[in-house]
Structure 1
Amino acid sequence: MDIQNERRRLLDADDEDGDLTGLISEQDAYLSKVKNRNLYLATFASVLGPMSFGFVLGYSSPAIPELTSITTDPRLRLDTNQASWFGSIVTLGAAAGGLLGGWMVGKIGRKLSLMFCSLPFVFGFTIIIAAQNVWMLYIGRVLTGLASGVTSLVVPLYISEMAHERVRGLLGSCVQLMVVLGIMGVYLAGLYLDWRWLAICCSIPPTLLMVCMCFMPETPRFLLSQGKRREAEEALRFLRGPDAPVEWECARIEEACDEQGSSFQMSDLKDPGVYKPLVIGVVLMIFQQMTGINAIMFYAETIFEQAHFKESDLASVIVGVIQVVFTGVAALIMDKAGRKVLLIISGVAMAISTTAFGVYFYLMSKLHSTPSLSLLALDIQSKAAEEPHADLAWLALASMAVFITGFALGWGPIPWLIMSEIFPSKVRGVASAVCVLTNWSMAFVVTKTFQEMMILLTSAGTFWLFASMCILNVIFTIAFIPETKGKTLEQIEATFRGTSGP
């Protein structure tokens, strides 16, 4: 159908209905006809993947204390080093999963990639359930990590390519929301279930993911990139409702796909529409891990103990609730406030809180007359040592609350959302794989070197380093990150190319 005729028909229809007054853009006219019910349904099905991912991340917290003290089967008992690997080996699997996911989304599509990634989730937890030795626990964690890496790449792409610009921020933020919801869910379940039953519960969301995705469409952009115009129109009709003239959107996407060509070539890296967003995506992932999120989460239980919270398990649940609430707030305001503003607010809040954490550890080291406060020194060894900790506990608690709130509002969900928005269709799989690999590799490096950083820089110096990284986050955001709120994926691409969008 001719685009100009479609525009004229839309405008005439809206004038007759009295829905719109005056001249309006074709984009607004089209979106006024869109119904979002099926789009929300498809999003819900896909975010069962991030929920599974959250269950994987959170599983080690309640499981490790049991596995380090298990008496019924000594073969499964973890020592300190094994427990460290049990927690961190997931990040290695996820890094590999990022590369695998980048290949899968280009070869078999977004929908099938999501369906297949549920298999290593289920197999991994099955191996953990049936574990007879420590190596089976490791293999199970690597498999669930692999699935988490694929999920962290595919789901943001699937949602961004399905959603229209008015709700893309809201729906894209649901990825991180479901991750933290999964973490909170496994913390809660861990209060009542042992590690094997907990693994059984963790296998439920990926099973539902496989079933639900059978009834959801492939993304229209992937279908059009494969030359499947009729299937793309059917997918759009499902996602936009019966009243939306989907031929207009289909023609717009098809035009962008034709301009880009079919497949990624290394020469494409010379294109500013490719290398600019790639650099931004990679730096965002580096900065996200260098904010100190893993360090804060590592200290969470100890800080609550120092503040006289006797139930450290309950403390983890409280942290999870804070994350869920403020990630939900970020999702609701994402399409109104914009990505850039939230990143700046988030970065400033985290810079202040990590600076305060550094002050807390500095004062603690002075109280104990030691040059540095190592991880071992954080244990309360005597009543004499407990009182100074309690006096300063408010500073640690306030810093942690501000940090988690700030991270949940911006640097938690937004790097993943921006990653799904800024890449041209033909390089989306490859570029996203590079970003996911960067994120999980940095997570592994920061986690495994954290204790060495504490010794080398002291506790205060380590958190002040995180504070300086948060300040760099803010500067980078102001200088280089474009606002993508309310723009189509094609308009975002045109921003990097320096041309006007469609």
Structure 2
Amino acid sequence: MNEYEENRPLLVNDERTEEDRSEQDAYLDKVKNGKLFIATFAAVLGPLSFGFVLGYSSPAIPELRRIQDLRLQLSVEEASWFGSVVTIGAALGGLLGGWIVERIGRKLSLMFCAIPFIFGFTTIIAAQNHWMFYVGRVLTGLASGVTSLVVPLYISEMAHERVRGTLGSCVQLMVVIGIMGAYVTGLFLDWRWLAVASSIPPTLMLLSMCFMPETPRFLLCQGKRREAEDALRFLRGPDAPAEWECARIEDAYKNEEQSFSLGDLKDPGVYKPLGIGVMMMLLQQFTGINAIMFYAETIFEQAHFKSSDVATVIVAATQVVFTAIAALIMDKAGRKVLLILSGVVMCVSEAVFGVYFKLTVMKPNNSSMTSVLTDTHGLLEDQPSADLAWLAVGSMGFFIAGFAIGWGPTPWLVMSEIFPTRVRGLGSALCVLTNWTCAFIVTKTFQNLMDALSSAGTFWMFSALCASNVVFTAFFVPETKGKTLEEIQAGFKGTRMR
């Protein structure tokens, strides 16, 4: 075979790619997104519930530490478990979600995870002892783990490439809105009524998802062509020819194995996205986001804020604003640009944060994280000047903004885009498990790092890890902006869409 004959198939494929691209644009011009937005809103009530779970402990723990009923009063150690046991439940939920999402589908999995949300908060409301608190927190954590896996998948399989980045970023946006909602509500309600308020979003999700469709890709995998076309007509509007998109998805599936085996780990279309997804989740937690949030109350006190409760609301509001900005520009700027920008901002912010702790001579002690959170007085050996305190507040604000605009929402979005259909449940489960396991490790070992490296050294270490995030993004993370899920998966294999 001569050189021309070797290159000819590639040229033909290029021509077909251009033709398909113009056909795809003509199709998308006819799409109406109204019902797609409604279905997305119904789904992201799950992450909103998840945010209320994460935010619930912040206003609830101080009240439960002071409560007069000795059956419910939490000690320092009990409060620590009340806050952290959610991560254990969420890790288990990630594994469970990976199994059920392939068995009963995306829609029913979302409806299923509303149940432990509701039962978990109900158990907390009716709590008569500490074990009921723990059971309630584990149940809500379990639901959070399932939600963090299923909702990104549901949205990515429903949305088309023009809006998938924006809609996928709404997952993290609703999480931080839920956290802020819990903080704000906690200013006015006691811990029982806060649990009642927190159970409202999952109840609404359960009811609204009854009227939403299953994803077309899952239906096609089940051989339900007619139901897939009906779902596409619902999501794309009456003017778009749903049969065309359905056939395109179906053609991509014909060239793909429908069942997973261990031998598939040799396939670059499997091991490459799996490695990228797991590493992104690991690096997200190793940015030190939990450490920054851990010191937020102390820093605000040193900056002479009168109310640390209001300060935490300000922190949460900052996350909401910049996560919303990320959602708006995700499909224009692209994933890689925001990840690199985010990593650079966090790297610089944490380096400055380390300088602040070095100058204020923060010395580690042997107290637990929870005891420091509940008793921040005496943490600093020397009271810093107001200028240095505002330096810390500024660097913390830049860090939170940087995290929210890139490494907060984007790993979850990329996770939902890169896996082939046959390993989407398993791959997503491993990513979620990695995320929550690393969250637990960072939270529980942070005080040990402080003892070993000092406060400044710990944050300089996190700064170096943020720099590694930038390098990893530049060399390994693919740009998925404007591509169909099938084109993304073909890219990992080094093939072209036909």
Distance in 2 (CA, whole Å) between partners of 1:382 and 1:215 is 53
Native 8 Å contact 1:492 1:501 kept in 2 = no
Per the alignment, do residues 64 and 358 of structure 1 end up closer, same or farther by CA in structure 2, a change over 3 Å counting?
Answer: same
23 and 415 in structure 1: CA distance in 2 versus 1, 3 angstrom threshold: closer
Please give the residue correspondences for 1:367-378 in structure 2 after superposition, counting only pairs within 5 Å: none
Q: 1:26 aligns with which of 23, 38, 50?
A: 23
TM-score (norm 2): 0.93
Letter in 2 for 1:55: F
Matched ranges for 1:89-168 at <5 A: 89-168=85-164
After superposing the two structures, state which structure 1 stretch, 42-51 or 376-385, moved more: 376-385
Deviation at 1:260, TM superposition (A): 1.6
Residues 326 and 408 in structure 1, CA contact (< 8 A), matched pair in contact too: yes
Aligned partners of 1:77, 1:410: CA distance in 2, in Å? 39
Distance 1:116 1:64 in 2: 28
**1:443-458 maps to which residues of 2 (within 5 A)?**
443-458=439-454
Correspondence for 2:411: 415
Report what 1:52 is aligned to: 49
Give the aligned partner of residue 225 of structure 1: 221
Residues 364 and 373 in structure 1, CA contact (< 8 A), matched pair in contact too: no
Distance 1:166 1:229 in 2: 24
Partner amino acid, structure 1, of 2:201: P
In the other structure, the counterpart of 2:427 is 431
Moved over 6 A (4+): 371-375
Partner amino acid, structure 1, of 2:268: P
Considering only aligned residues, what root-mean-square deviation do their CA atoms show, in Å? 1.8
- TM-score of the pair, normalised by structure 1: 0.92
One-letter code aligned to 2:325:
V
Partner of 1:393: 389
Distance 2:321 2:366 in 1: 32
Match of 1:18 in 2: none
How far apart are residue 320 of structure 1 and its match? Answer: 0.7
1:75-474 equivalences under 5 Å are: 75-365=71-361, 379-381=376-378, 385-386=382-383, 388-474=384-470
| CA spacing shift, 1:237–1:465, aligned 2, 3 Å | same
1:344-382 CA deviation, whole Å, 9 max, x = no partner?
Answer: 0000000001111111111111xx7x6889876994449
2:377 & 2:37 partners in 1: Cα distance? 49
Deviation at 1:42, TM superposition (A): 0.2
Unaligned 5+ residue runs, structure 1? 1-21
Query: C-alpha separation between the residues in 1 aligned to 2:452 and 2:64?
Result: 31
Q: Quick check: 2:47–2:171 contact (8 Å CA) kept in 1?
A: yes
Structure 2: gaps of 5 or more residues: 1-18
8 Å contact kept, 1:43–1:171:
yes
Tell me how far apart the structure 2 counterparts of residues 24 and 477 of structure 1 sit (CA, whole Å). Answer: 27
Q: Verify the 8 A CA contact 1:373 1:459 in the aligned structure 2.
A: no
Contact 2:87 2:436 in 1 (8 A): yes
Corresponding residue pairs, total: 476
Q: CA deviation at 1:264?
A: 1.6
Q: Quote the sequence identity (%).
A: 71
* 2:78 aligned with 1:66: no
- Deviation string for 1:245-286 (max 9, x for gaps)? 111110111112222232221111111000000000000000
Cα offset for 1:392?
A: 1.2
